[in-house]
Amino acid sequence: MSGPITVVVVDGHTLTRYGLAGLVSADPEISIVGECGLAAEAPARIAVAHPDVVVLDVVLPDADGLRLARELRDRYPSLGIVVLTCHDEDDVLFRALETGVSAFVAKTAPNAEVLAAIRHAAVAAASFTATGLASALARRGQATLPTAATLALSPREREVLSLLATGQSVPAIAGSMFVSLSTAKTYVSRLYDKLGATNRANAIMTALRLGLISTELSAIA
């Protein structure tokens, strides 16, 4: 990437925006090119600034931050999206994972972790990273699980599983596998059925427990 990573900040707290500006100003590789406090203002700011990364709060004064993140992901597949949160509960983390954001960071995280999340989002927008995700997956237990012997995953399904584990969205999986979006959705649906999962988090958790993937596979650890 040539030039600094450009960032738009969307956060309802003026002090948070000011703090991020101060943090980023000390890093010559990252530059804030826009900011706003409302979800309603974000699309226009992003359309004008064309940032590499958007950093937004999970709770905005006028909207659900993760709903905004989903809209941005659908509109800009290559946009890095970092979610900052005061609510580090497992359910919020899993919602972020399902939304397709690039990184999930607590507002209490060290400065280096916030900057690392921005850098990650800039170069791997379709890959999800969050400190403690593996632990959260372990805490979300399932009553019954299939066994590795009974799954009989096809090579394509194993490929889909690996891509899901790296945090790739379904459109990104379609591109990686050189198949149509509908075909990729079919593969994901079949994989979920075999794993007894209803979403990505369930699928990854089950696969981890069965030894089908490891946390070293991706940036989800």
Check whether 183 has a pLDDT greater than 70. yes
What is the pLDDT confidence band of residue 34, given thresholds at 50, 70 and 90? very high
Residue 46, class by beta-carbon neighbours within 10 Å (0-12 exposed, 13-18 middle, 19+ buried)? buried
**Lowest mean pLDDT: which of 41-45, 61-65, 149-153?**
149-153
State the pLDDT at residue 29. Answer: 92
| Domain final position from 108, 131, 154 | 131
| Domain final position from 131, 158, 185 | 131
Q: Residue 129 is inside which H or E element, if any?
A: strand 129-130
Q: What is the CATH number of the domain that holds 122?
A: 3.40.50.2300
| Domain final position from 84, 112, 131 | 131
What is the tally of structural domains in the chain?
2
Average pLDDT (71-82) is 92
What are the C-alpha distances in Å from 184 to residues 116, 170, 171?
30, 7, 8
